[in-house]
Structure 1
Amino acid sequence: MSEKLKNKLIYFISLAIMIVVLYGIAYMSFMRKVDVNVMENAKFEYSGENGNATLTVTMDDSSEINQRTAAFLETVEFEASPNTELSNGDVVHVTATYDEATAEEYNFNPTHLSEDIKVSGLPDQYSSLKQIDKSYLSNILEAADQYIDDHATEIYRTEVGGSSERISLDKSRVVYSAFMKSKNSENSDRVIRIYQLTYTAGETQTELYYLVCVPEINDSDDVAEQDIYGLKAYLTDDEKNNRQYAEYVQRLYQEQYTIEEITK
């Protein structure tokens, strides 16, 4: 074989090898279907308590995944069934759907599109006030007090009004506290506190009664600070003068709750 022919042969063999390598790279990068485990990136979160919970399934955005996979996973939607009145031990079937065009664009082959989830870890309600741990109860009451401190000016402007820029809460006195056990499993148990608030705005002094509610009292022993709310307590003159705070609460809530006064 001549040297010239030999060189041509080497050239074409090298070229063929390069083409095969480039094709392989292109296939691996752009043409080969890549499996994406959808459920591996799912995040399961429960809301509610044992016997009355729901499940929310979302993508875990804290996972370390590449940009293409993240863009695809943003198209995924989950459905859980059943998803009402869940209790510990229930089995929920979760299915995922996705945008097929996006999967095709990125050459993804989505896998694990359904999974059965066994419900666990849901908190239970307390049957009575005496079951509540003292330190947990103390945290609840402190959270209610803190709500007053944090919202003092807002409470005055909402319930009293006025344009004075000089508003001060001179005195905050707790006049009644109670644990309210719901008679309906759809509602959470709660702790309420009634405060007698004395304000000075400009030259005017004002007194009002205000009720703070801390909901979702259960054996998780977590204080749901983000769900605490308050409202003006509209006591009658007799209830104020005779300090009939328990009667006021009974008048408003006895049909929905079993009420136990907290005497701490």
Structure 2
Amino acid sequence: MDFLQLAGKRILVFGVANRKSVAWQTGKVLEQAGAEVIYVVRSEARKESLAKLTAHAPIYVCDVEHQEQIDQLATEISQKFDVIHGLVHSIAFADYSAGWLPFHETPRTAFLQAVDVSCFSLTALSNAFKDLLDPEQGSVVTISISTTRMAAENYGYMAPVKAALDSSICFLAKSFSNFSNVRFNAVCPGLLKTSASAGIPGYVDSYLFAEKATLRKSAVQTSEVADTVAFLLSPRSSGINSQGIVIDAGMGTNYFDKKIVSEDP
């Protein structure tokens, strides 16, 4: 039974890094649901590594820091496909090479690059593919974080960047509503085990704490995020637009769990 009604739907998935990435897990869920997945990665090296994981899906290269590459990608996709039913934006980058710094010392170049890659790229891609997205049932889903209000020192400037991404969802949904029914939503997971998160200073300690704070005492799995992305891409979620769906296993309601509070500092 095709409950999600994704069979035969054509979905662009941006941002696969490896088997641990949200984009890869999402692609697998979509393929299992019968969707046609088109992968887009940022470099030829990523394309080569992804080709080893999938023998049949088409793979394109696009570095979203360069508008000309986005335009070229849209041209290439439009020449081969007449419609795209969904777009997954699982792209984020932060340069932590300067090490941990207090937020007020955030390097300007690092912050602006993070905004460009992690946030503005969603607007740029949506605009580039607006004429290809199914105007009636098209769906765009990005990957945010469970909260941008928790000032985690080691996450630093990426929280404000994700806050801008969350806001962009609202404005894109409103803007596209003037000429289509394309929906824009975000999936907002708690802490995950991904290669991207491994580059965040002190992430492991934060991850272990987050796991204790969940109601089930078990961390959020990347597969759970992928399942939610697939739902938001499907016609089954047609009433959901301009929203952020939090996937944190109840962590946000459990910071004062008595077992956590009573632990020795």
TM-score w.r.t. length of structure 1: 0.22
More helix by share: 2
More strand by share: 1
Higher relative CO (CA 8 A, sep ≥ 6), structure 1 or 2?
2
Could you say which structure has the larger radius of gyration? Answer: 1
